[in-house]
Structure 1
Amino acid sequence: MMASAHPSQEEDSRVQRIAASIDRLSPQLTALSDRIWELAETKFEEFGSARLLAGMLEEAGFDVSHGIGGLPTAFMASFGQGNGPVIALLGEYDALPGLSQRDGVVRREPLQDDSGNDHGNGHGCGHHLLGTGSLAAAIALKEYLAETGLPGTVRYYGCPAEEGGSGKTFLVREGAFDGVDAALTWHPGYGNAVVSMTSAANYQVRYRFEGRSSHAAASPHTGRSALDAVELMNVGANYLREHVPPSVRFHYAVTNTGGFSPNVVQAAAEVVYLIRAPEVRDVKAVYARMNDIAQGAALMTGTQVQIQFEKACSNLMPNITLEQIMQHCFEQLGVPTFTEREQRYAAAISATLTEQPEGGNINTPVADTNKDEISPAQDVAAPDLKPDEGSGTTGSSPLPLPETLDAYEPEAGSMLGSTDVADVSWIIPTAQLETVCFARDTPFHSWQMVAQGRSSAAHKGMLHAAKVMAATAAALMAEPSAVLEATQELRRRGGIEGYACPIPGDVLPPVHPSLRA
């Protein structure tokens, strides 16, 4: 169902009221996102972040259920009236390990604790903005429902562990999204667009090798090296790369080398693999071959291997029906605009990036150690920032913070990365958008993204995304037939009854049993 190109007076009023609600709350919302940035809690440990988000929703009049789906840092907040559609806003708030970074500077500068050690974690994917932006949309929608009496229910889902934990996939498996009619979400980025792409499915698997220790000089023949097994597995996996489809990716991290002494044959070692492919069935096939390689490495070294399936997610299912409505709302609201000072700081960040010549929009973060510290409040040397009218560019160079809305392209292709939003999209019609929060081409999972995480530009993008999501949700509640059409589209694509959770039922999330609800 395509929304009218000419919004009615009722549509205009709805969008303006929603935008006004978010603008009124902007000081509290920006403070909340900044505090979550400071906490920087990683997967399944986001206790403080979840508490802050749930607390603000409770104060706004939502009923909150904690620990849903057996995940202690997951929660669901609900407000509803009548028999209208149930719309979910998806929020994330997990950070990444090893990305501690001071904000507002243009060089690599990890935060340090009182002992002078690196703080450790950082929001290198903008989830502090993501979770807060979805919360803002939920509150604005709740206020609109309460004021107008429009029937419907808004639910905010606090979803932990998107990074390396597939929290939403566990929640889907446990039925946490039962009763939801449509789901909306967003992601901070460096473009303004409704995202109509699929994503890669993945498995994450831990291979733990057990051998026998011995003195490496006096009795090496009695030892059985688990580290040798890890190395041989990695060699075998690298030879496998030639014999899988070009769309398959797998990456590994050696998480235990067995110790620090070369004079001891290592009795224990482990490696974690992340296997990606366009669809779950492709991942499953490569996973079987990877297991054979692990068993072969164990056989060659006289060790034993334990294979621990940790998490998985499916490929994303776009929904054109919802995306068209979201695009219409985006066009009504326009895009965030930025000050010259914000553009100059973004330009300074961009100067720390080195573009790969054929990298498919991939950039390698490089710190310029010769630069002085620069903050957004200072004047920053940057190119001419006067865009050509309507072009969003600085002469021949694009603005560091784009100010244009991308044309909607349904089913525009496949992203190389993965997301656990995908599993939601198989059981509920789902749409998502991106807004400009960071300098153009800032690599995700980089210190540059962490440094920009509390900038005024990031806040602007977050608040604008909230407006688009809330306006989209309100449009769906005003026209429930669109939700039915979106569900029919999902079924035609093979979703709902055709969904099979990629995480086996006996695989539990890595949280202590005493913390599970």
Structure 2
Amino acid sequence: MNQQAVESIARSVDAMKPTFSKLSDSIWEFAELKFQEQRSSEALAGALEEAGFSVRRGVAEMETAFIAEAGSGKPVIAFLGEFDALAGMSQAADLAEAKPLVSGATGHGCGHNLLGVGSMMGAIAVARHLKENNLPGTVRYYGCPGEEGGSGKTFMVRAGLFDDVDTALTWHPAPFNGVRSTNNLAVLEYYYRFKGIAAHASNAAHLGRSALDAVELMNVGVNFLREHMPQDCRVHYAITDTGGRAANVVQAQAEVLYLVRAPEMSQALALAERVDKVARGAAMMTETEVEIIFDTASTNLLPNITLETAMHQNMVALGPVPFDEADLAFAKDIQDTFTDEAIKSSIRLYQIKGDVFSNAKIDGSTPLHLGLRDFEGQSHFRAGSTDVGDVSWVTPTAQCWTPAWAIGTNPHTWQVVAQGKSPAAHKAMAHAAKTLATTGLALMTQPDLLAAAKAEWKEKTEGQPYVCPIPAEVKPGSITH
């Protein structure tokens, strides 16, 4: 990628930044949960139409999913956008203390208001460059709902919407700047609904069969199972129905949600079978019935070092994010809400060991990452899960991270929401857009790079055909309460 093209893309994104920072802030304010992102989805789709993209709404049986397209011919480069929020994450913006706007309400605790808009800016910048220079190629923006526990992209993959895509690019807000190749975990989600018999808990308890007892016994059984599962696997649960608030009633129904994670989907499926056995055992012990309901799933991420190396090289050409003293001051206020261990943990989590521009060790003494993380050219274990994983199994995929948050910030916290509308976050979003756009344009104009990325993907997937982990009969967002 020549420097002239990099500078052209950067100017295009900078020109868009004021308008689209406001759009990101609007989506922050909407803070809509998975598959309910009507206003967020429409705002993004409308902005893409104004930019000359054609838009298909309601794809893959999801009202808030859409695909926007510009240009024509090969290659087809996909830009992935997300825009869903999290429950219980309401927080005032630009404030370095926990203060919900509305107690118990939703909030953008993972920065998806920035993610969706940043990817869109990157797609628009590439589409404009192709048009202005009369170059072939198709730019697609995928409006992906329900990343948080909904696996929107997995449903889009299942519907065949990525079948003709040559590569896919995305990004995520983070406390650091750079590319980190990760092996995310596969994840399966199941609801376990227990049905018992109600009775007076004092004078007729012998007639009752407690569904809540069954849930509690299942949780105890799974806790014992943890000692005997592979080290990198994870199992989490949340009791979603306790059967009521009356203590003098034997609860006739109760429900628990389980997430089962493993480095590979085959391992996750095997572990889920063991969890199922624990659930059935709990039902036997309590003489209740259990219904096991599949909710959703995402496959482990398949890294592409070729794409990631190209993305890193473009980040080197772009230079650091242009933060100012005001950005640093607010980040320091946020950082003061963390313990020293939290800051060290964040640095370890993102494997920030060196800096391309200064060779300085990142130790958290600077509240924002002012440089660029060194890229080792190899993958790291990461215990999280993402539906980007399913996309990576059907087309070569890469993502970058840019420093929208103070060093020490962990996802799904009030500190993320507090920083979601800050000038620093807007700068990081624009930087991500430039990275995606320059990488996308390189793939459009350098056939050898695209061929190398595809060759690596083919080698890694040979003998391991992708199988969608969500059965055909399962519909998006089908579990309701």
Q: Which residue of 2 aligns with 1:52?
A: 43
State how far apart, in whole Å, the 1-side matches of 2:49 and 2:282 are: 53
User: Which of 17, 33, 40 is the equivalent residue of 2:31?
Assistant: 40
State how far apart, in whole Å, the 2-side matches of 1:441 and 1:279 are: 29
State how far apart, in whole Å, the 1-side matches of 2:462 and 2:430 are: 31
Aligned residue identity for 2:68: A
Q: Secondary structure at the match of 2:52?
A: coil
TM-score normalised to structure 2 length: 0.95
Q: Which residue of 1 aligns with 2:92?
A: 102
Q: Secondary structure at the match of 2:329?
A: helix
What percentage of aligned pairs have identical amino acids? 49
Aligned residue identity for 2:259: L
User: Which of 96, 101, 120 is the equivalent residue of 1:135?
Assistant: 120
Matched, 1:465 2:432: yes
| Structure 2 runs not aligned, ≥5 long | 349-354
Q: Secondary structure at the match of 1:96?
A: coil
Contact 2:65 2:145 in 1 (8 A): yes
* 1:392 to 1:399, Cα distance in 2 relative to 1, 3 A: farther
Contact 2:91 2:100 in 1 (8 A): yes
Q: CA deviation at 1:484?
A: 2.2
Contact 1:336 1:460 in 2 (8 A): yes
Within a 5 Å distance, the mapping from 1:273-312 to structure 2 comes to: 273-312=258-297
Q: CA deviation at 1:444?
A: 0.6
Give deviations 1:209-263, integer Å, cap 9, x for gaps.
Answer: 0111011112111111000000000000000011111111100000100000000
State how far apart, in whole Å, the 2-side matches of 1:392 and 1:461 are: 21
Give deviations 1:66-89, integer Å, cap 9, x for gaps.
Answer: 0111111100000113x3300000
Give deviations 1:339-392, integer Å, cap 9, x for gaps.
Answer: 1121111111111112448985389xxxxxxxxxxxxxxxxxxxxxxx9x9366
Q: Which residue of 2 aligns with 1:483?
A: 450
Q: Which residue of 1 aligns with 2:351?
A: none
Q: Which residue of 1 aligns with 2:54?
A: 63
TM-score normalised to structure 1 length: 0.88
Q: Secondary structure at the match of 1:78?
A: strand
Contact 1:355 1:362 in 2 (8 A): no
Q: Secondary structure at the match of 1:431?
A: strand
* 1:283 to 1:358, Cα distance in 2 relative to 1, 3 A: farther
Q: Which residue of 2 aligns with 1:246?
A: 231
Q: Which residue of 2 aligns with 1:233?
A: 218
* 1:359 to 1:224, Cα distance in 2 relative to 1, 3 A: farther
* Number of residues of Structure 1 aligned to a counterpart in Structure 2: 474
Aligned residue identity for 1:98: G
Contact 1:198 1:414 in 2 (8 A): yes
State how far apart, in whole Å, the 2-side matches of 1:61 and 1:358 are: 43
Q: Which residue of 1 aligns with 2:352?
A: none
Give deviations 1:296-342, integer Å, cap 9, x for gaps.
Answer: 11111111101011111111111111112111111111120211121
* 1:185 to 1:357, Cα distance in 2 relative to 1, 3 A: closer
Q: CA deviation at 1:411?
A: 2.4
Within a 5 Å distance, the mapping from 1:49-448 to structure 2 comes to: 49-81=40-72, 83-112=73-102, 118=103, 120-356=105-341, 360-361=345-346, 390=358, 398-448=365-415
* 1:69 to 1:251, Cα distance in 2 relative to 1, 3 A: same
Q: Secondary structure at the match of 1:53?
A: helix
Say what the alpha-carbon RMSD is for the aligned residues: 2.1
Q: Secondary structure at the match of 1:194?
A: coil
Aligned residue identity for 2:451: L
State how far apart, in whole Å, the 2-side matches of 1:13 and 1:463 are: 18
User: Which of 7, 11, 22 is the equivalent residue of 2:13?
Assistant: 22
Contact 1:44 1:511 in 2 (8 A): no
Aligned residue identity for 2:115: L
Contact 1:71 1:511 in 2 (8 A): no
State how far apart, in whole Å, the 1-side matches of 2:343 and 2:230 are: 20
* 1:145 to 1:511, Cα distance in 2 relative to 1, 3 A: farther
State how far apart, in whole Å, the 1-side matches of 2:191 and 2:342 are: 34
Q: Secondary structure at the match of 2:170?
A: strand
Contact 2:347 2:407 in 1 (8 A): no
Contact 1:356 1:362 in 2 (8 A): no
Aligned residue identity for 1:184: L
State how far apart, in whole Å, the 2-side matches of 1:139 and 1:493 are: 31
Q: CA deviation at 1:14?
A: 1.3
* 1:14 to 1:291, Cα distance in 2 relative to 1, 3 A: same
Q: Which residue of 2 aligns with 1:380?
A: none
Aligned residue identity for 2:204: S
Q: Secondary structure at the match of 1:193?
A: coil
Q: Secondary structure at the match of 1:125?
A: coil
Contact 2:346 2:409 in 1 (8 A): no
State how far apart, in whole Å, the 1-side matches of 2:431 and 2:62 are: 30
Contact 2:314 2:438 in 1 (8 A): yes
Q: Secondary structure at the match of 2:255?
A: strand
Q: CA deviation at 1:106?
A: 1.0
Contact 2:188 2:298 in 1 (8 A): yes
Contact 2:308 2:398 in 1 (8 A): yes
Q: CA deviation at 1:195?
A: 2.3
Contact 2:163 2:394 in 1 (8 A): no
State how far apart, in whole Å, the 1-side matches of 2:85 and 2:337 are: 22
State how far apart, in whole Å, the 2-side matches of 1:362 and 1:391 are: 16
Aligned residue identity for 1:424: V
Contact 2:45 2:68 in 1 (8 A): yes
Q: Secondary structure at the match of 2:60?
A: helix
State how far apart, in whole Å, the 2-side matches of 1:274 and 1:33 are: 30
Q: CA deviation at 1:501?
A: 1.1
Contact 1:84 1:480 in 2 (8 A): no
* 1:512 to 1:312, Cα distance in 2 relative to 1, 3 A: closer
Q: CA deviation at 1:511?
A: 5.0
Q: Secondary structure at the match of 1:185?
A: strand
